[in-house]
Structures are given as structure tokens and as C-alpha cells.
């Protein structure tokens, strides 16, 4: 990897299927999160599917982006319709 490349965090799951070991961890990650910009989210995370990206452009007020931590590593997620979608390595 050259110095110009960046690591893009992969999608790990939503709160519906809880990608964390237990519910307490899921709640902790969400509770400790701080809001970030859409631009920051897309800088660090792989792009959602094209149909979701289209919806994000058409209805930006329906989405909120966040950053938190899990096991000392950054976790990024966006919330849509009260469902969180998580990205981390």
C-alpha cells in the first residue's frame, strides 16, 4: 500500500442483526457516539449500495452519521429510520 491509499472500513451489519457480541456492547457503541458529517463518513467507510446512496442524496435530512469506538477502534455508522448501519475493521 502506498502512502496515498487509505483503508476503507467495511460494512459489518445493522442494529437489527447486531454485529457486536451482545446487546450491551451495541448500546454502548451507540450511546458513546458523536455526530459527524456525511463527508467524514464517506472518507472512512466503503460506500453503501448505489440505491442507498441515491436515497441519501435525495433525502439527506433522513440520515445522520456518527463515529464511536469498539475495542479501541473507530466505528462509523449512519442512522436511517432509527436503524443504525455499522462500519469498522
Q: What is the pLDDT of residue 4?
A: 54
Has residue 66 been placed in a domain?
Answer: yes
Planar angle of CA 89, 79, 67, nearest 5 degrees: 45
Query: Where does the pLDDT of residue 7 fall: very low under 50, low under 70, confident under 90, or very high at 90 and above?
Result: confident
Has residue 55 been placed in a domain?
Answer: yes
- Domain hosting 83: range is 11-87
Has residue 6 been placed in a domain?
Answer: no
Count CB atoms within 10 A of the CB of residue 46: 10
Task: Supply the pTM of this predicted model.
Answer: 0.89
Dump pLDDT digits (tens) for 25-36: 999 999 999 999
- The pLDDT of residue 44 is above 90: yes
Domain count, the chain: 1
Has residue 2 been placed in a domain?
Answer: no
Has residue 4 been placed in a domain?
Answer: no
User: How many angstroms separate the CA atoms of 49 and 52, rounded?
Assistant: 5
- The pLDDT of residue 3 is above 90: no
Residue 77, beta-bridge partner list:
66, 86
Amino acid at each position: 500500500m502506498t502512502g496515498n491509499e487509505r483503508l476503507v472500513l467495511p460494512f459489518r451489519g445493522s442494529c437489527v442483526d447486531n454485529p457486536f457480541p451482545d446487546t450491551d456492547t451495541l448500546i454502548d457503541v451507540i450511546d458513546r457516539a458523536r455526530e459527524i458529517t456525511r463527508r467524514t463518513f464517506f472518507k472512512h467507510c466503503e460506500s453503501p449500495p448505489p440505491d442507498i446512496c441515491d436515497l441519501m442524496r435525495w433525502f439527506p435530512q433522513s440520515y445522520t452519521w456518527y463515529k464511536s469506538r469498539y475495542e479501541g477502534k473507530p466505528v462509523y455508522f449512519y442512522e436511517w429510520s432509527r436503524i443504525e448501519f455499522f462500519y469498522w475493521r
